[in-house]
Amino acid sequence: MHLMMYLFGITNELSLALQQKDQNIVLAINLIGTMKVRLQEFRDNGWESLLEETNTFCEKVNIPILNMEEEVLIRGRSRRSRNTTTNLIHFRGGIFCEVVDKMIVEMNNRFSEASTELLTCIACLDPRNSFYQFDIDKLIHMAEMYAEDFSSTDRFMLKQQLETYIHAVKSQSQFHAIEDLGSLAKQMVESGMNLVFSLVYRLIELALVLPVATASVERVFS
């Protein structure tokens, strides 16, 4: 129970951030990196504090405290084989480290370097704070990652469109209060800018449907 409480505590901020209607991809990326570091630190240095807290809880509710040096039979082995281990090895290596390692592996699988890089590129489309995260080079790189959707000619034209697009959206008041990509796409359609900046709009559409985005994150916590 205490182990799961620790793990939920480490992952709680990311989980909450991803459940917000107005999801902040930049914040999520930072929290992913922070959570990976915290999980590894907990795995390497968290056993003693977890054990101490668990023992304190047991004392308060009158639950017998296990002697970590006591030898116990290895589960699944015949009693006649007399293969034993200590409580310390069983609980630290067989449960604590194994559970945390599985979570670290799951997070690394869900959020590989490539997927995190893609999320960083998607974040450059974020309209909040007057398109503060906008970065042409990263958006061109995103198009390069999806060469089937953007030919070499498209990528050349995309750079020109992006340079004009950012000036256009910053200068038009209807874009100033937009807080998410869905609303940005809707406003572009309503204003006809999806036709003028068709390649930029294609990037936004791609960002909205990519499975690497928040749905993948939420599955980790389901």
Tell me the pLDDT tens digit for each residue of 93-122.
Answer: 888 899 999 988 888 887 777 778 888 898
Helix or strand (DSSP H, E) at 214: helix 214-220
Tell me the pLDDT tens digit for each residue of 157-215.
Answer: 999 999 999 999 999 999 998 988 889 999 999 999 999 999 999 999 998 887 544 44
Shared domain for 139 and 81, answered yes or no, is no
Shared domain for 63 and 158, answered yes or no, is no
Structure confidence at residue 20 (pLDDT)? 60
Strands (E), the chain: 71-73, 84-86
The answer to whether residues 136 and 159 touch, using CB atoms and an 8 Å cutoff, is yes
Shared domain for 135 and 104, answered yes or no, is no
Q: Which two tokens stand for residue 71?
A: 């030898």
Per the structure, the count of domains in the chain is: 2
The answer to whether residues 119 and 211 touch, using CB atoms and an 8 Å cutoff, is no
119 in a structural domain? no
Shared domain for 48 and 74, answered yes or no, is yes
14 in a structural domain? yes
117 in a structural domain? no
Distance, CA of 190 to chain centre:
32
